[in-house]
Amino acid sequence: MIALVQRVSEAAVAVAGETVGSIGPGLLVLVCAETADTELQAAKLVDKLLRLRIFADSAGKMNLSVVDVQGGLLIVSQFTLAADVSGGNRPSFAAAAPAEHGRMLYEAVLRMARERHPEVAAGRFGAHMQVRLVNDGPVTIPLRIAA
């Protein structure tokens, strides 16, 4: 799985002008399932998200997790993270999981995150979404969870 994690002061996702998910301080996580991914990668991703130490401690060092700071998670599906532009200027998305497989893994990530963290908001799989965020830092971390 591929994820792009952004530490945010706030973030929200809307579909057709309606906000479907929002958080205050926490992590905005854009998630893409790849063809060979399974629920094992989904579980590893959730574990990494909850343990990733990218929030400042009292000394100003990145030493705290989203759990430690009681931040929110906003998890949004984004198949375009699998884009391959090595063959030209038009991206290929062949590495992205087919829609139903991607949906199943996205829903697994949401389910596992909600089982382990009190504040988890989400986008809407397959929808055209508008994502608003205030990146705090800025801090943006790319993650790849191997199969």
**55 an active-site residue?**
no
**93 an active-site residue?**
no
| Cβ burial 41-64 (10 Å sphere, 16+ → b, else e) | bbebbbeebbebebbbeeeeeeeb
Q: What is the C-alpha to C-alpha distance for residues 137 and 135, in angstroms, rounded to an integer?
A: 6
Element (H, E) at 39: helix 39-51
Q: Which of 6, 55, 79, 125 is catalytic?
A: 79
Q: Which of 19, 80, 93, 130 is catalytic?
A: 80
**140 an active-site residue?**
no
Q: Which of 6, 55, 78, 125 is catalytic?
A: 78
Question: Catalytic residues, which ones?
Answer: 78-80
